[in-house]
Amino acid sequence: MSAATPYVPPIADYAFLYREAFGRDIVAAASGGAITADDAVEIIAGAGEFAAEVLAPLDRAGDRIGARLENGEVHLPDGFAEAYQALVEAGWVSATAPESAGGDGLPESIGAGLGEIWNGANMAFALCWMLSAGAIHALDAAASDELRETYLTKLVSGEWTGTMNLTEPEAGSDLGAIRTTATPREDGTYSISGQKIFITWGDHDVASNIVHLVLARTPGAPDGAKGLSLFVAPRTLVNADGSLGERNRVETVAIEHKIGIHASPTCVLSYEDATGYLVGELHGGLAGMFVMMNSARVGMGHQATGISDRAYQGAADYAAGRLQGSVQDRPAGAPIAEHPDVRRILRSMSSQVFAMRALAVHVGDLFDRAAGDEAVLPMAELFVPILKGWTSEEALRVTSDGIQVYGGMGFVEETGAAQHYRDARIIPIYEGTTAIQSNDLIGRKVLRDGGSTVGALFAQIDETTAALRATEGAVAVRIADRLARTVDAARRATDALLAFGPGRDASAVSVPYLMLLGTLSGGWMHALAVVAVAAHAEPAEADAARLTDADFYSAHHLARVHALAETVAAGEIA
């Protein structure tokens, strides 16, 4: 029975992506040879082994039992604390932390693989690691030496975990409405008071302390988002010698009863005269938080990929074993994986997963290259909302497809397909809803530079189309034709958006435009894979499947660009 489908880390895909899908060893190219694709594959394989053995087996119990709030303390199911300690001891927390913060500073392209694997194995658990990673980025960017010494080092070592405290009951997507106050005390610390909601891993029993990063408003600060400052408010205060002191005045008032990620405690935290320490500049809170949010948004692309692949693995395993439809030569029936429509669904899932995975690696690579070449940064930043928005929306489709493959058994909780569907539903909401991503996309990334960055993307896709045609393979040329027509449609949609300019017309079709660029980018990733496969002197084992996935994606998913382009051109209909 499929409940026992083991998690298989997608090592071959990462090897292909690091080594050849983009026409070169991207890891070596971005690191100047300091680290190579072969090193990356070894790291990914190690992470995959750890995830499959330690994290994946806790995923179902995490869902069934979930995090519990008892006497003001949050408890995770048995095994979570041990798994977290094992993660720390294996060095996986410090692996992706920047070198400037004392971490190993692994390239972002490798971070994409790690992020996918932790999330694929156990999405609720992975969130703990992801939130710490975000807090590390924010403190590394802005914290004083004292705060770095006291808090950042403990986050990087994994001894403590981190959280982001943004949302309040009346301040969701609109951070300007935040009311939590931070009042300066004579000793230089701040007194923090207010209620924060939706705090992921806001309390738990898997590590000895929690470093809350809190957005709050100081007395007399400007209205709106520009008046916000960022503070560290640890769950337990830290003595001068670094040892833990008394509890800070922050209480876990409730944890949410959610449709999914039951083992990720989503807390309501109440701060009442809690002690906080200013991070960075006064009223510079939003800038500090944006550092954290960008890393978290890219991380959501890894999460969406991971949960989608997990759903695919379960469905493929079930479909291979489930016999239905007896035929002459097989009286017991054929595996449903061979039935045309199940085959369609599985191919739809696998081709989406590859597109997401490849785009996440590409975005990681862009950030890696941008570290040495500022000119790459706009393209990297263009992709942040696309990666977050598109993969998270597609994860809903993929995990739903996963249920469909199981048929009636998919609606029953025991198979696990339902859990992936429930878990995935949060991804298009947190770290900025798809609408928030799409507003960022059209406002800051497309309209602001008059479409020049997105135009450069289209030009890159044109090059790939030409390379496809040059292979002269029948499938490659068919894909090239489809890709060329969709790039045309994307250009028309972009022209329509630029003609609208900022305002309601552009905003009202910003999500369709984001989905258009994501879908197109996914098709581009497949096209790059086909070009790479065509260069093989001898066909590799996975080549046929890569061609079929690419062909399928271009006929079933990429075709949606035509519909989305029509929608974008319509503007607001109200």
Residues contacting 408, CB < 8 A, separation 6+: none
223 three-state secondary structure: coil
Q: Which is nearer to its own copies, 143 or 418 (CB)?
A: 418
Q: Which is nearer to its own copies, 219 or 340 (CB)?
A: 340
Q: How far is the CB of 568 from its own copies (least distance, A)?
A: 9
Query: What whole-number distance in Å separates Cα of residue 32 and Cα of residue 416?
Result: 43
The DSSP symbol for 248 reads P
Q: How far is the CB of 227 from its own copies (least distance, A)?
A: 13
- x/- mask, its own copies, residues 164-203, rule CB under 8 A, reads ---x--x-xxx-xx-------------------xx-----
Distance of CA 49 to the CA centre of its chain: 21
Q: How far is the CB of 361 from its own copies (least distance, A)?
A: 24
DSSP structure string for 50-111? HIIIIIGGGHHHHHHH--EEETTEEEPPTTHHHHHHHHHHTTHHHHSS-GGGTS----HHHH
Q: How far is the CB of 349 from its own copies (least distance, A)?
A: 14
Q: How far is the CB of 408 from its own copies (least distance, A)?
A: 5
Backbone angles phi, psi at 358, to 5 degrees: -65, -40
In terms of phi and psi (left: phi > 0; alpha: psi -120 to 50; beta: otherwise), the region of 323 is beta
Under rule CB under 8 A, residue 316 binds its own copies: no
Under rule CB under 8 A, residue 324 binds its own copies: yes
Residues contacting 202, CB < 8 A, separation 6+: 74, 163, 165, 196, 210, 212, 252, 265, 266, 267, 268, 269
Cβ-contact 311, 123 below 8 angstroms: no
In the range 370-399, which residues lie near its own copies by CB under 8 A? 396
Q: Which is nearer to its own copies, 340 or 501 (CB)?
A: 340
Question: Which of 102, 333, 443, 455 touches its own copies (CB under 8 A)?
Answer: 333
Q: Which is nearer to its own copies, 232 or 514 (CB)?
A: 514
Q: How far is the CB of 54 from its own copies (least distance, A)?
A: 27
Catalytic residue among 431, 463, 472, 572: 431
Q: Which is nearer to its own copies, 370 or 418 (CB)?
A: 418
Residues contacting 64, CB < 8 A, separation 6+: 262
β 323-324/266-279 pair status: unpaired
Beta-bridged to residue 276, according to DSSP, are 190
In the range 417-476, which residues lie near its own copies by CB under 8 A? 418, 421-422, 425-426, 428-430, 433-435, 438-439
Under rule CB under 8 A, residue 499 binds its own copies: no
Helix 123-142 with 108-121: angle, nearest 10 deg: 150
Q: Which is nearer to its own copies, 249 or 422 (CB)?
A: 422
Q: How far is the CB of 264 from its own copies (least distance, A)?
A: 11
Closest CA to 431 of 10, 130, 151: 130
Query: Any catalytic annotation for residue 431?
Result: yes
Question: Which of 79, 284, 335, 407 touches its own copies (CB under 8 A)?
Answer: 407
Cβ-contact 391, 355 below 8 angstroms: no
334 three-state secondary structure: strand
Question: Which of 100, 504, 535, 540 touches its own copies (CB under 8 A)?
Answer: 504
Q: Per CB under 8 A, which region of 8-16, 28-36, 291-299, 563-571 contacts its own copies?
A: 563-571
Query: What whole-number distance in Å separates Cα of residue 17 and Cα of residue 353?
Result: 13
In the range 520-549, which residues lie near its own copies by CB under 8 A? 548
Residues contacting 34, CB < 8 A, separation 6+: none
Q: Which is nearer to its own copies, 142 or 424 (CB)?
A: 424
Under rule CB under 8 A, residue 326 binds its own copies: yes
In the range 6-45, which residues lie near its own copies by CB under 8 A? none
Under rule CB under 8 A, residue 341 binds its own copies: yes
Question: Which of 188, 219, 408, 501 touches its own copies (CB under 8 A)?
Answer: 408
Under rule CB under 8 A, residue 1 binds its own copies: no
Q: Which is nearer to its own copies, 257 or 472 (CB)?
A: 257
Closest CA to 569 of 495, 496, 487: 496
Sequence-ordered alpha helix ranges (H) in 425-473: 434-440, 452-471
275 three-state secondary structure: strand
Under rule CB under 8 A, residue 502 binds its own copies: no
- Residues binding its own copies: what is the number (CB under 8 A)? 76
- x/- mask, its own copies, residues 344-363, rule CB under 8 A, reads x--x----------------
Query: What whole-number distance in Å separates Cα of residue 334 and Cα of residue 320?
Result: 9
In the range 217-256, which residues lie near its own copies by CB under 8 A? 224, 256
Cβ-contact 266, 198 below 8 angstroms: yes
Under rule CB under 8 A, residue 343 binds its own copies: yes
Question: Which of 289, 509, 520, 529 touches its own copies (CB under 8 A)?
Answer: 509
Q: How far is the CB of 395 from its own copies (least distance, A)?
A: 11
In the range 145-164, which residues lie near its own copies by CB under 8 A? none
The DSSP symbol for 215 reads E
Q: Which is nearer to its own copies, 344 or 448 (CB)?
A: 344
Residues known to be catalytic: 431
